[in-house]
Amino acid sequence: NAGVTQTPKFQVLKTGQSMTLQCAQDMNHEYMSWYRQDPGMGLRLIHYSVGAGITDQGEVPNGYNVSRSTTEDFPLRLLSAAPSQTSVYFCASSYAPRPTRQETQYFGPGTRLLVL
């Protein structure tokens, strides 16, 4: 199993450009999520999905869109990049958001995004 994969590893954008961060998992996990990590801080939830066709907002959703057409893929779209979106982005997945160890989220390697 590859686990959770993310592409690209690193990206530089200009203000106003759009792009899609890709995330895929091969563990048949129901739950997928996107977090961002800013310097000196823990991760903050952007969007999440409890299954194909179902998405919802997290703590910091503004400026980002998501969709989930398959169980495996959960892309994150930046609509019009801003310097404040410079961050490291992590995708994660788990079996299910239930009160057991099955809710443990496994993370991808991250995407470093620099917006100029």
- Contacting positions for another protein (CB under 8 A): 31, 33, 35, 40-45, 48, 50, 58-59, 88, 90, 92, 94, 97-101, 103-107, 109-110
Q: 16 or 26: whose CB is closer to another protein?
A: 26
DSSP sequence for the chain: ---EEEE-SEEEE-TT--EEEEEEESS--SEEEEEEE-TTS-EEEEEEEEETTEEEE-SS-TTEEE--SSSSB--EEESS--GGG-EEEEEEEES-SSSSGGG--EE---EEEEE-
Q: 34 or 78: whose CB is closer to another protein?
A: 34
For the CB of residue 1, give the shortest distance to another protein in the complex, in Å.
Answer: 15
Q: 16 or 109: whose CB is closer to another protein?
A: 109
For the CB of residue 31, give the shortest distance to another protein in the complex, in Å.
Answer: 5
CA–CA distance, 69 with 15 (Å, rounded to integer): 28
Q: 85 or 105: whose CB is closer to another protein?
A: 105
For the CB of residue 70, give the shortest distance to another protein in the complex, in Å.
Answer: 19
